Amino acid sequence: MTKPSRTDVVMKKHGREIFISLLLAMAVLVVYAQVRNFELVRDDDYTVMSYADVHTAHGFDISAAFTGGPSCFPYRVPLVMLSHMLDLVLFGQAFGLHHMVNVFIHIINTLFLFYAFRFATGDTWKSAGLAALFAVHPLNVEPVVWLPCRVTLLSGFFFILTLLCYFRYAKRPTKAGYALVLLFYVAGLLAKPEVIYLPFVLLLMDYWPLGRWRGTAPAYNPCALPEHAGLSVTALLKEKTPLFLVALAGAGLATYLYIKTPVRGMIPKDSILPLFTDVLAGVPLSYLVYLLKILFPFNLSVFSGLDYVPPGAWEIAGAAVLFFLITGLVFYTGRRRPYMIIGLLWFLLTMALPVVLSGLFRHSLIHRYTYLPGIGILVILVWGGHDIFKHNRHLLSFFVATLLVLVLGSMTLSWRQTAIWKNTATLYESLLKSGHRPAEDVYTDLGNIMLGRGATDQAIVYYQKALAHSPADPRLYHCLGLAHARKGAVSAALAAYHRALALNPDFALAHNNLANLLADTGQIDEAIDHYRAALAADPGQPEFYNNLATTLAQSGRIPEAIQHLEKALAIDPEYQTARKNLARLRVMESSGE
């Protein structure tokens, strides 16, 4: 009798899991393989790629990923930037391959999710159902197909990997196992600080499916060592002390860098009061909006979160009542079905920061925020559906069939949603058709993108289309002026800037850019007047002081120029351009030039 080969043994023991893994990977590829022909679509794409390109052009500058980052990220994401830099080295400007890297990360996340819950619960088919819904859920399209959203994918990778390692540690605790949990958690924070909540999620997992809390039972395969089961909450919290210390350090560093680095998208100064009024009052409504969209992922307009409409008092009150009713029902039924409580708490905990940010930034719904939080709701859906129908063979078959229909339907919706992201034109055509954003805003975004790419003629066309919808908007005339100036059409640029200022005399940026153009064309005195007007309207901009100082120096007014450079550095001590200009002018002053 021949001895079975190693392959035969593996297939006999793990054949079902391998087959499911292949199906999951194929489902993702069916939806997302089209991204191999996709391009960069928005400003943020170019910002990320530009930063990566600068720091790989003359060697692979690893330190740049840790010490800085693109302006579209209000926090450090070193591991993400390293991955983008590596993509540029390997694939160059073939951005379809960059997109495929996102797809493969999502495949790995899906497989890790399957194996993590398979390991913890012992239920292969429920874990497969959970992973399948996660793999092709329409709300997960945005993080997969939009390159800057690799922060979500890569942090999700380390989040789920940490979860898997923790499940193994909980079954057989060792120092090496805990070290892996700690290592991957740190990596997750280096991919995106938002996963700071992971230690609390692990505490939830101790309740279910691990059953490590005193008075709870594991869903499958009790802990190998009895002393690591039936633990008090205090003991479980103490066990996670190193993780909480890392979380505290990560939160402090992320907050410091967020406040220190002035980037686009910062929380406005006037958001403190809304934090205690609009934001907190609207938390139940925000949770319900996200919950309903996870369960019913239809009408998925791109950037639908930007069409924010402040909710009325009755909407807030009604949402609060419904939210607490749902929570109460889940906790009531969760006495016998602990996955109900844990699934809901997973969702509430991991969605907490996005919900607050949605209120602060006036976003009604951002699809990518649900990438990890949605897992909690899917757990309730899969395990709850099975528990409801498991006592009747026909009803259970109906549930399985319904689950398959949901997966196939999600694949169809996700495939269509993915196609929208092929290029800038398809993305914004979809946005225009949806009506979720005013046409002038869409055309302005398109103009900004074209201007960033150096396509000034196209930018001018889009700005003019925006003006056709909003002819009294000074910001649009300012953008039009920028485009004409880049093209070299000085007269048209001057006319656009003057029109912007006629509509808004305190438009600081328009004063500054008009002054730049006047200085470039030798109209120094007029330029100085407009720089002073820019500073009068917005005295907190160090660039305005630097620009004024440069122009004053050209007219021979060195001492006054030095004063303005000193003011620029008082506002931003790390403003290197002003520092260099100041050093040069001091040399000129001391030499009597």
For residue range 445-469, list pLDDT tens digits in order.
889 888 988 899 999 999 999 999 9
pLDDT at 171 over 90: no
Q: pLDDT value at position 225?
A: 46
pLDDT band at 556 (very low <50, low <70, confident <90, very high): confident
Q: pLDDT value at position 432?
A: 86
Cβ–Cβ under 8 Å, residues 507 and 501 = yes
Strand partners, 57: 59
pLDDT at 270 over 50: no
Q: pLDDT value at position 373?
A: 97
Q: pLDDT value at position 310?
A: 65
Q: Higher confidence at residue 224 or residue 341?
A: 341
Q: 196-205 burial by CB neighbour count: b if 16+ within 10 A, else e?
A: bbbbbbbbbb
Cβ–Cβ under 8 Å, residues 40 and 147 = yes
Q: pLDDT value at position 15?
A: 85
Q: Where along the chain do its domains lie?
A: 17-263+273-425, 428-591
Residue 300 DSSP label: -
Separation of alpha carbons 557 and 180, rounded Å: 62
Cβ–Cβ under 8 Å, residues 60 and 53 = no
Q: pLDDT value at position 431?
A: 85
For residue range 174-212, list pLDDT tens digits in order.
999 999 999 999 999 999 999 999 999 999 999 999 989
CATH 3.40.50.1110 fits 428-591, yes or no: no
Nearest to 297 by CA among 382, 403, 414, 399: 414
Cβ–Cβ under 8 Å, residues 199 and 182 = no
Q: pLDDT value at position 305?
A: 53
| Pair of tokens at residue 217 | 């039972």
Task: Average the pLDDT over 386-403 and give the result.
Answer: 93
pLDDT at 477 over 90: yes
Separation of alpha carbons 48 and 140, rounded Å: 21
Cα-trace Rg, the chain: 28
Cβ–Cβ under 8 Å, residues 567 and 549 = no
Q: Render 475-543 in DSSP notation, one character per residue.
A: HHHHHHHHHHHHHT-HHHHHHHHHHHHHH-TT-HHHHHHHHHHHHHTT-HHHHHHHHHHHHHH-TT-HH
pLDDT at 313 over 60: yes
Nearest to 496 by CA among 529, 466, 538, 532: 466
pLDDT at 113 over 70: yes
pLDDT band at 265 (very low <50, low <70, confident <90, very high): very low
pLDDT at 364 over 90: no
Alpha-carbon distances of 317 from 281, 285, 322, rounded to whole Å: 9, 9, 9
- Residue-averaged pLDDT of the chain: 89
Separation of alpha carbons 483 and 456, rounded Å: 6
pLDDT band at 330 (very low <50, low <70, confident <90, very high): very high
- For a pLDDT cut of 90, what percent of the chain falls above it? 68
Alpha carbon dihedral 398, 325, 362, 370, in 10-degree steps, equals -30
pLDDT at 60 over 80: yes
Separation of alpha carbons 333 and 384, rounded Å: 10
Separation of alpha carbons 28 and 262, rounded Å: 38
Task: Average the pLDDT over 9-22 and give the result.
Answer: 80
Residue 74 DSSP label: S
Which range (28-37, 260-269, 363-372) has the least confidence?
A: 260-269
pLDDT band at 360 (very low <50, low <70, confident <90, very high): low
Separation of alpha carbons 480 and 487, rounded Å: 11
pLDDT band at 272 (very low <50, low <70, confident <90, very high): very low
pLDDT at 224 over 50: no
pLDDT at 303 over 90: no
Q: pLDDT value at position 275?
A: 53
pLDDT band at 269 (very low <50, low <70, confident <90, very high): very low
Please list, in sequence order, all residues whose beta carbon lies within 8 angstroms of the beta carbon of residue 324, skipping any fewer than 6 positions away: 284
Separation of alpha carbons 226 and 215, rounded Å: 13
For residue range 495-529, list pLDDT tens digits in order.
999 999 999 999 999 999 999 999 999 999 999 99
Task: Average the pLDDT over 68-91 and give the result.
Answer: 93
pLDDT at 369 over 70: yes
Residue 297 DSSP label: -
Q: pLDDT value at position 97?
A: 97
Please list, in sequence order, all residues whose beta carbon lies within 8 angstroms of the beta carbon of residue 254, skipping any fewer than 6 positions away: 75, 76, 193, 196
pLDDT band at 74 (very low <50, low <70, confident <90, very high): confident
Separation of alpha carbons 431 and 16, rounded Å: 43
Please list, in sequence order, all residues whose beta carbon lies within 8 angstroms of the beta carbon of residue 41, skipping any fewer than 6 positions away: 146, 421, 423, 424, 427
pLDDT at 263 over 60: no
- 3-state DSSP of 104-116: HHHHHHHHHHHHH
Separation of alpha carbons 94 and 88, rounded Å: 8
Question: Which helix (H) or strand (E) element contains residue 276?
Answer: none
| Pair of tokens at residue 491 | 């007269």
Q: pLDDT value at position 434?
A: 79
Count of alpha carbons within 13 angstroms of residue 147, beta-carbon side: 34
Q: Higher confidence at residue 365 or residue 242?
A: 242
Which range (215-224, 267-276, 505-514) has the least confidence?
A: 267-276
Please list, in sequence order, all residues whose beta carbon lies within 8 angstroms of the beta carbon of residue 46, skipping any fewer than 6 positions away: 40, 449, 452, 453
Measured in whole angstroms, the distance separating CA 436 from the mean position of its chain's CA atoms is 20
